[in-house]
Amino acid sequence: MDSNNHHPQNPNPNLTCTYHNTEFFDTLPDFELSDYLMLEDGTEGDLSSQNVTSSDNVTGGSVESAGATSTNSNIKCRTGVKRNKPDQADFRVAFRTKSELEIMDDGFKWRKYGKKMVKNTPYPRNYYKCSSGGCNVKKRVERDREDSSYVITTYDGVHNHESPCVVYYNHTPLMVPHGWTLQPSSSQSSPS
DNA sequence: CGCGTTTGACCGGCGC
DNA sequence: GCGCCGGTCAAACGCG
């Protein structure tokens, strides 16, 4: 990887991301993130306008994601819970990020295990696994076919370990092992 | 030499 | 039942 240059400080004073557990998502019983990310005809085009829970707050907060050296990355966070098979993680979160780079280093170490061309999308989808032993968190990275300047990163599962390099947003660890809740700051950093 | 990436093959789920 | 498609595996390869 070429993007292990982590940012020790808060890379984005305009964005507060606080992660708790999935209780947050229980308030969104009908919100299936995967549905939103499913690039279906006539729906994916509304991605930006349908960013119901967080986009209004998050969008506009330019973020230089850890490792992503893009100087103008506008991140749009889509969060939700996906009920999977019992033996699978029941947690899924996705970010739609405006970036030229597909590599979104979030502080964890990922190993690429697959690449696939998906239907109706001119761009390949890349599959990554957390390379930490015992951690079976996966993520998919693909370009938004509607706007190739956006990268959609989907995380499956929850890390069972601390990040090798915890990224802090407003004094709050970006990655917490037991689930995330997104609390974007709409205007400025407002430490509690 | 070890680790990560690449890539074609394989498998399972789902829709018709 | 069959075919399509998304997801995963694993061997080969490349790089540090």
Confidence of residue A113 (pLDDT cuts 50, 70, 90): very high
**Distance from residue A27's CA to nucleotide C5's C1', rounded to whole Å:** 32
Q: Which nucleotide is nearest to A38 (CA to C1')?
A: C6
- Give the residue, A106 or A86, on which the prediction is more confident: A106
Structure tokens at A106: 């979030």
Instruction: Dump pLDDT digits (tens) for A38-73.
Output: 333 333 333 333 333 333 333 333 333 333 333 344
Strand C atom within 7 Å of A83 CB: no
For residues A143 and A112, give the distance between their C-alpha atoms in angstroms, rounded to a whole number.
16
Q: Which strand B bases fall within 7 angstroms of a protein CB?
A: 4-9
| pLDDT score at A103 | 67
Query: pTM for the whole thing?
Result: 0.60
**Distance from residue A46's CA to nucleotide C16's C1', rounded to whole Å:** 44
Instruction: Dump pLDDT digits (tens) for A146-186.
Output: 777 888 888 887 776 666 555 444 444 444 433 344 333 33
Confidence of residue A95 (pLDDT cuts 50, 70, 90): confident
Would you say A138 and A152 are in contact if contact means Cβ atoms under 8 Å apart?
no
Could you tell me the CATH superfamily of domain A111-169?
WRKY domain (2.20.25.80)
Q: Which strand C bases fall within 7 angstroms of a protein CB?
A: 4-10
| pLDDT score at A115 | 92
| pLDDT score at A40 | 33
Beta strands in chain A (DSSP E): 75-80, 92-98, 110-117, 124-130, 138-143, 150-156, 168-169, 172-173
| pLDDT score at A104 | 61
**Averaged pLDDT of chain A:** 55
* pLDDT over 80 at A112, yes or no: yes
Confidence of residue A76 (pLDDT cuts 50, 70, 90): low
* pLDDT over 50 at A123, yes or no: yes
* pLDDT over 50 at A128, yes or no: yes
**Distance from residue A111's CA to nucleotide B3's C1', rounded to whole Å:** 10
